[in-house]
Structure 1
């Protein structure tokens, strides 16, 4: 079997809540899923597939090559186990290294101590085998070694992606509290944007900020690989890197981008009340070369009008009242959003990511689906709306229908007549004895 056909075991790291979507994405890219865990998906694939994951994954933060996993119950076993790994097969002594260690135990009280043990094991092995040692550079290393200690199990991995994959390279300007690019993609996928776009539906973000949702939506619709603008990947300095295979994959992605832009005809529109945000969005859109495909303008939420396409997706990430605005001033924003959806977007789907459920209720719509996400440290819910009827009006109609006078049958009429007769007979006695409540027995009923 040729080297490029050998299956490599890797771990894709992601934010919580994205794991099922990442698993499906890796499966589509040709990976064989081994296990999904919290914040990660373990998989295997050929070198070509691993390169494709680094270039095409819209959801992962990092792609890590799994080197070794073993049990430890003492600090010395971390050093010994890492000393046995064939580091010289992955990089040479002229490279700079860093160690990203996470996890603690009874014998590892802090991550710095764990990092030091791993670093010493790597350096000592190189010195023992070659007489030279790699230098340590914690900020800008060539090789990043990722080590995770969990319940006595140590996983040692090599970072193949480098800087987090959410950094596409187009964001040159941003407003406060921007969405990470892979979180934006995750909520687009949950909102079924790929299928809506495939059917010619439009897309609108009425509070677009610096344009992340708009750009990610256009990249999905135009089949643009999210990693095309990255300057480099960490695997370029890995000893097993195959530049021929990588070049083929990269050129194929460039060709797919060219074809995708030629066929991109979805109406993708963004608005924001902040002219500074609109300028930032335009700058980012131009940076990635989508200025002909995405339009952005200054417009308050209260001035939304009939969309240009019959169907589509309105998706937005309004302020939560925790980092940007105050609750009282935001209620009107959410209210206007709900009113616009009810008035103009009956055949559209709406998706709202919010970290404030009280504000979400002001939208006055009933969500068809809810999904949990985390936007930074803030727990959020993605609410999907397909029924644009006022929730309060629906409830009011139900209550009124229940209060509607029912048709009286012959049997119920007999009971009502007997109760009225007994009430007339007993009224003088009840008043005399100041009785306001009394019990009826079977003999009192017909």
Structure 2
């Protein structure tokens, strides 16, 4: 076998440039960069060293043969031509991986099968011995890459991917792979900072991947020092003595590194469930003396062991894939920026983010940005020097102004001089005017953010008298008043519910995103609410029952009040909250008219109208809906107000239920969906098409002298003329719009229908 081999080192997309630098430093020659790979020539010693020391590669592939192939037969004979007896025993185990397509092979499974057949046929003995397949822990892992008609057949020296260091047996919900974390650290300058004795802090450390990788770099530990099983362990070409020598050298280097005074490496994690798994990972890596993990929020973490210590703050904030995450992420980034400015002056910072626009909200300029991929997600690494001239929040001050402030602060800290007591004309002492309370400076808003905040405050002031007079606890304060800020904002007591309308395709997505973040920054200040109580959702054109489908699973309900009743809303789990604010006037009308009446609520949703009817003294209420989830919610709304007897909840398809019902009702309310195709109902409901049948069925259940209220929010809805010929129909839409929806009078339409 040759003394020099062709090697392929694979890596995550975006790491190729860093990997080629690392590989050349470890001895790779004639190195060339490929997509997600580096290629070069090396001795066996270098191949082993790459396996042991590469922090960035996924696999080290030793090329056995290159050959042209036009079809599957060429593939089979090209693999068969290798002296496989030099590589594995006839009764050994084998795994084959195949990548690429072409030359008549479009199925990777078929390609891998042809490679396996050739190896097995070559090694089959007269006694019937032959290699078997073991996909988990084979003696030999073979890889064939098909590239533009050329087959590259390789032996995988690494075995399991090199990113699997062995210390991380426990992980969080969305961890970084170890080699990606190492690449981010290297790109962030951690090897330089560590060599200078710098510190490292991760304020969102999860289970400690950044911390462990940083510790191994600082302590000169080979990342795969503790691995026991390699792809070359059972390979017949393996040179154990050479490997032993390199491994022992790495052990000695690690021992020497760990014997040095440990660097200050700290992690902070808000989720208490991740603290012990993180500590366990640190212990398995052998770095317990170097790394400590504490529970703590981003807004409170203190990275500095002392005033003179400098170092690197590094983190991978959440990406915000769940509904309602945008607001909390904005505030997370704002808090991170605030802590950097307050506690990490003269440090360096590295923020790895899947939302670069949020990175701009930290209030510090990044001096460099690098593109990476976390799996299929494009990400940016923002490198920051935490220096005052990089800050973009707060007022810019001249050196003279800063000196004046320091002098004033020094003066303020001197003991107060005795003050001469003053007396009024009656001889009573005049109390000194107390010093004004310190002003807590809010983050500065952008010009657009301030404009948006002004509009919110104007709306809030305009509605304040009405809200106070009517005793309203939840209402809409903004509904796309400014076209460039396309969202609806509702107040639910001391919570804010934001629905972002999807921007038209003609709008630049980056501008739309920037405006959204401007608005989110402005909302807490303008509405005087805690930023943790802002929930954001995106509202797009809905089809079917999508607006009623569960979007998250937090299960948190908030109690609000309206017209003397208490109602439960869920601001996080569904697109809608369980309370249609625009129907407030209709619910109040029902409450006033319900005394002594039998009330029927069709498509009842969470039965808020039924609660109002019960509050108004209804003799009974019946609420019908297809959803068990919403009927359970309705039951809780009724129970919350002490209404349980005489309040029926019926699960079923409304049309079928009406056809089978023989009861009479004095007051009926119908607020149907525009469209429904639930699996639990027969056929499809379309409000425009099915309105006549629905109203006729409901009117058949209406007692003499009774009233039916019909409402819906389908913008293009037209009431069928033949209904007006058979019933007394009065459109009351204008009477069912409160001031908070006055700007959007098409939010719904409503009719009062009685018998002629």
- With normalisation by structure 1, the TM-score equals 0.84
1:197 aligns with 2:194: yes
Number of the residue aligned with 1:277: 274
Query: SS state of the match for residue 146, structure 2?
Result: strand
Q: Encode CA deviations 1:141-190: one digit per residue, 9 max, x unaligned.
A: 21111011122121111111100111111112111101111000000000
| Equivalent in the alignment of 1:41 | 38
Where does residue 318 of structure 2 map in the other structure?
319
4+ residue segments displaced more than 3 Å? 128-132, 392-397
1:236 match: secondary structure: coil
Counterparts of 1:68 and 1:41 in 2: how far apart (Å)?
A: 17
1:37-436 matched pairs, under 5 angstroms: 37-105=34-102, 107-127=104-124, 132-305=129-302, 307-308=304-305, 309-322=308-321, 326-388=325-387, 389-393=390-394
Could you say if the C-alpha distance between residues 370 and 239 of structure 1 is closer, same or farther in structure 2, counting changes exceeding 3 Å? Answer: same
Who is 1:414 aligned against?
Answer: none
Q: Please, which runs of 5 or more residues in structure 1 have no aligned partner?
A: 398-446
SS of the residue aligned with 1:167?
coil
Instruction: Please state how far the C-alpha of 1:324 moved relative to its aligned partner.
Output: 9.8
| Higher gyration radius (CA) | 2
What's the offset of the Cα at 1:203?
A: 0.4
Shifted more, 19-28 versus 347-356: the winner is 19-28
* Counterpart contact for 2:95–2:140, Cα < 8 Å: yes
Contact 1:55 1:228 in 2 (8 A): yes
Deviates more, 1:302-311 or 1:123-132: 123-132
1:220–1:306 distance in 2 versus 1, CA, 3 Å: closer
User: 1 CA distance for matches of 2:127 and 2:309?
Assistant: 68
Shift of 1:323: 6.3
For residues 299 and 65 of structure 1, the distance between their equivalents in structure 2, rounded to whole angstroms, comes to: 46
Task: Say if 1:110 and 1:244 are closer, same or farther in 2 by CA, change over 3 A.
Answer: same
CA distance in 2, matches of 1:128, 1:80: 18
In 1, are the aligned partners of 2:203 and 2:268 still within 8 Å (CA)?
yes
Question: How far did residue 366 of structure 1 move?
Answer: 1.3
- Equivalents in 1 of 2:299, 2:96: separation in Å? 51
- Secondary structure of 2:224's match? coil
| Matched-pair contact (CA < 8 Å) for 2:58–2:163 | yes
CA-CA distance at 1:132 after TM superposition: 3.7
Question: Cα offset for 1:264?
Answer: 4.1
Cα distance in 1 for partners of 2:339, 2:325 equals: 22
| Counterpart selection for 1:9 from 6, 9, 32 | 6
Report deviation, 1:351: 0.2
Partner SS state of residue 320, structure 1 = coil
Task: Considering Cα pairs closer than 8 Å and 6+ residues apart, tell me whether 1 or 2 has the greater RCO.
Answer: 1
Q: Does 161-170 or 352-361 show the bigger shift? A: 352-361
Asked if the contact 1:59–1:185 (Cα under 8 Å) also holds between the matched residues in 2, the reply is yes
Aligned length: 394
In the alignment, is the contact (CA less than 8 A) between 2:319 and 2:354 conserved in 1? yes
Shift of 1:106: 5.4
How far, CA to CA, are the matches of 2:33 and 2:127 in structure 1? 39
Q: Secondary structure at the match of 1:234?
A: coil
Say if 1:8 and 1:340 are closer, same or farther in 2 by CA, change over 3 A: same
Larger CA deviation: 43-52 vs 332-341: 43-52
What CA deviation, in whole Å up to 9, does each residue of 1:379-424 have, x standing for no partner?
1111100154322558999xxxxxxxxxxxxxxxxxxxxxxxxxxx
Structure 2 residues without counterparts, runs of 5 or longer: 399-756
Task: Summarize the Cα distance change of 1:51–1:273 in structure 2 as closer, same or farther, 3 Å threshold.
Answer: same
Cα RMSD for the two superposed structures? 2.1
CA contact (8 A) 1:176 1:324 kept: no
Structure 1's 105 and 175: CA in aligned 2 closer, same or farther, altered over 3 A? same
1:252-288 residue CA offsets vs partner (Å, 9 max, x unmatched): 1111111100114311011011111121111111112
TM-score of the two chains, using structure 2 as the length reference: 0.50
Q: From 17, 22, 35, give the equivalent of 1:20.
A: 17
